[in-house]
Structure 1
């Protein structure tokens, strides 16, 4: 069900980079396909991996992009979830939880002591993360000018 993405899978995922990125920031069409691809390619070039969730027919239902990040205060590396996306037709079936468990396993196997991710405060996915033991780590605040 979950495995490393093949080259074909990565092409499938990258064709949907804009959708995933815009949903992640809770807005529509603020991130272009080119911008989304630039963000993803940087992560992949730095050793990031896509894991995919496959349906029984082997089609991709969702994916998670994990890699390494550095805490700029402590200078310590940690595993990091850069992207999590489940195609709309497959949501509410526990796929995100399976993908998150794969990312956690990835981090443990590589010897990291921590795995992190960014999520917007009002993103519905925050409840999933909290259910799996993720805790608020820092808060970024904004004020419109």
Structure 2
């Protein structure tokens, strides 16, 4: 087992999963398009973000995308997890937790005092994030007006 930064070619392979990853992560709240998934990834990567891979031999089992964001409310830079994904055959083996802990180590070494992420309600990864010490800071709430009577 090794956790290491993805090469350019490996990043391109990961991006081929973007539509599926986004669809799974948004748990039905978003109907993602390939174009939008690539736009999000391109923006993140152009901003200095990168992927860490969890590999065993030549097999990529999962990845985490990390970078920086600016906390709008306190005007402070923070480490940011853009994406965490473990391929289905390798789930429930601790891969996601190991990836997160390595991301924390690297972000702390870069001088960040905190790490943030966004997660959709209903995403089962939220349980892992809580276990790893994440807590809710802001909640986006929504009300559907489609069937609203005037």
Shorter-chain TM-score bucket reads over 0.9
Distance in 2 between residues matched to 1:137 and 1:28, nearest whole Å: 20
3-state SS, counterpart of residue 89 of structure 1: helix
Q: Which structure 1 segments of 5+ residues have no match?
A: none
**Pairwise CA RMSD of aligned residues?**
1.3
Alignment of 1:126-145 (within 5 A): 126-145=126-145
3-state SS, counterpart of residue 116 of structure 2: strand
Task: Give the structure 2 partner of residue 40 of structure 1.
Answer: 41
3-state SS, counterpart of residue 126 of structure 1: helix
TM-score, normalisation: structure 1: 0.94
Q: Which structure 2 segments of 5+ residues have no match?
A: 146-150
Total equivalences in the alignment: 144
Deviation at 1:67, TM superposition (A): 0.4
Distance in 2 between residues matched to 1:116 and 1:29, nearest whole Å: 21
Deviation at 1:29, TM superposition (A): 7.6
Query: Which sits farther off after the overlay, 132-141 or 44-53?
Result: 132-141
Alignment of 1:73-88 (within 5 A): 73-88=73-88
Q: Which has the larger radius of gyration?
A: 2
Q: In the superposition, relative to structure 1, how do residues 89 and 28 fare at CA in structure 2: closer, same or farther (>3 Å)?
A: farther
3-state SS, counterpart of residue 133 of structure 1: coil
In the TM superposition, structure 1's runs of 4+ consecutive aligned residues that sit over 4 Å from their partners are none
TM-score, normalisation: structure 2: 0.91
Distance in 2 between residues matched to 1:130 and 1:105, nearest whole Å: 18
